[in-house]
Amino acid sequence: MSRKLIASLAIAGVGSLALTACAGGGGTKSTSAGTGPGGVTTLKLVVADYGTGPSNTSSKYWQSIITAFEAQNPKIKVNVTAINWNDFDNQVQTMIQNHQYPDITEGDYFANYAQEKLLYSADQVLSNPDNLLPVFKNQGSYDGVQYGMPWTTSSRTLFYNKKLFAEAGITTPPTTWAQVQTDATKIKATGNVGYGLPLGPEEAQAEALLWFLGNGGGYQNASGQYDINSTQNVQTLDFLKSFVASGVTEPNPASKNRTDLWQQFASGTIGMINGSPALIPIINSGGKLTSSDWASVQIPGKNGPLNTTLGVCDNVAAFNANGHQAAIKAFLDFAYQDKYQLQFDKEYDLLPATTSATQALSSDPIFGPFLKALPQSVQYPSTTSWANTKTQIQQTIGTALTGNPKSVLDQIQQTATKSQ
């Protein structure tokens, strides 16, 4: 009997394989990048990966800058790590929790780092901080000092499929919510999805904000206080609830992510979807829509097109833990040259983050419209509680479509104001 038990126990070990593709992790302290032999400083650069695949991974782009930079600065070495976008926040946060500080990050940045006094301010690590786009200054500031330096930006417009519009007998793109509803219904009748609404956990905070703005709402009120459960926002979600219930969107928007819906738009089966310039290469690689099959216009609001849009910027942050201020400054001055800004935007279909690079690109036929919207853009909040708030919006705002919008927004508001 007990011999059999031992035998079974032995095979039981297989069990530890059955479902354990998972384990928790910490991190090991990599040796602090101090000044190494021969007075060489090694900088640790951690960037988000904007690539769509192996061929255009961001580490390639950065490596080309680094190679040129190191040739000019033999005393400084830069090691770059590209992290998948979906893991970026989590990973950088884990690094900091583990006290393995990077020197420079490029991607999401949170005011917490500034609050914890982990960062150099922009004027400490840039020779010309005023060249950064002024509209994003506030978003990267904490206590009136700018720490988050915009690196790349994007703004949102409504993409629509001209083919499907023609098929449904629609001649002009919508400018109000009511028209969106009518047009989506007509497209739905042709057997396609009228409107793609990504309110799943990936990027719901962006889609939700675009709708809130259309009704004069948003995440913060005019004086910068969180106002997530405002009457306007509740109304907006009430509208979306009925909009979804009428069946003109894809099924179950609360579980749909932007990646999947953008791919579906590119395959020609969605009438309208909010997008950024990053959607353009996806449309092109989908091979179903030619450049004359789609267009993009200002996002419709409740009573007319939005005169603002969501402007998103990804920030560079410089950490002071390793004390490499001079080396960081040398590298950032080098990397912020217009040619590298433009190279990045061409590579990933994003917009520049410096005034000089923006001027160089303003007459571009494709990017021009997006750039025009940038100066009036609204940004995400920049308080220390935004990180947690964002996580909760992503996870829960979709549940308002089948639940009670007011109580969902109340919950989020509570999170936003709890740690302020």
Report the C-alpha gap between 304 and 333 in whole angstroms: 42
The region of 156-164, 165-173, 246-254, 289-297 touching another protein under the rule CB under 8 A is: 246-254
- Kindly tell me which of 18 and 222 has the beta carbon lying closer to another protein: 18
Report the C-alpha gap between 134 and 130 in whole angstroms: 8
* Beta strand pairing call for 149-155 and 311-318: antiparallel
The region of 34-42, 284-292, 299-307, 361-369 touching another protein under the rule CB under 8 A is: 284-292
Tokens standing for residue 397: 């705002």
| Per-residue binder mask for another protein (CB under 8 A), 29-68, x = binder | xxx------------x-x-xxxxxxxx-x-x---------
- Kindly tell me which of 89 and 302 has the beta carbon lying closer to another protein: 89
The single residue among 131, 163, 190, 201 that binds another protein, judged by CB under 8 A, is 201
- Kindly tell me which of 287 and 375 has the beta carbon lying closer to another protein: 287
Ranges within 314-333 binding another protein (CB under 8 A): none
User: Three-class SS of residue 78?
Assistant: strand
CB environment 242-262: b (16+ within 10 A), e (fewer): ebbeeebbbeebbebbbeebb
Residue 335's nearest CA partner among 78, 155, 32, 55 is 78
| Per-residue binder mask for another protein (CB under 8 A), 111-140, x = binder | -xx--x-x----------------------
Residue 126's nearest CA partner among 148, 101, 106 is 148
- Kindly tell me which of 260 and 338 has the beta carbon lying closer to another protein: 260
The single residue among 35, 73, 98, 182 that binds another protein, judged by CB under 8 A, is 98
User: Three-class SS of residue 419?
Assistant: coil
- List Cα–Cα distances, 337 to 60, 65, 126, 331, in angstroms: 17, 10, 12, 11
Residue 193 touches another protein, criterion: CB under 8 A: yes
Quickly list DSSP for 217-251: --SB-TTS-B-TT-HHHHHHHHHHHHHHHTT-B-S
Q: How many residues bind another protein (CB under 8 A)?
A: 101
Ranges within 68-97 binding another protein (CB under 8 A): 79-82, 84-87, 89-91, 93-97
- Kindly tell me which of 126 and 412 has the beta carbon lying closer to another protein: 412
Residue 285 touches another protein, criterion: CB under 8 A: yes
* Beta strand pairing call for 294-297 and 270-275: unpaired
Min. distance of Cβ 333 from another protein in angstroms? 24
Q: How far apart are the first and last CA of the chain?
A: 62
- Kindly tell me which of 23 and 222 has the beta carbon lying closer to another protein: 23
Residue 343 touches another protein, criterion: CB under 8 A: no
The single residue among 65, 158, 208, 254 that binds another protein, judged by CB under 8 A, is 254
Ranges within 259-278 binding another protein (CB under 8 A): 259-260, 262-264, 267, 269, 278
**Are 393 and 205 contacting, i.e. CB atoms less than 8 angstroms apart?**
yes
The region of 157-165, 175-183, 231-239, 396-404 touching another protein under the rule CB under 8 A is: 396-404
The DSSP element (H or E) to which 3 belongs, if any, is helix 2-12
Min. distance of Cβ 410 from another protein in angstroms? 11
Min. distance of Cβ 130 from another protein in angstroms? 29
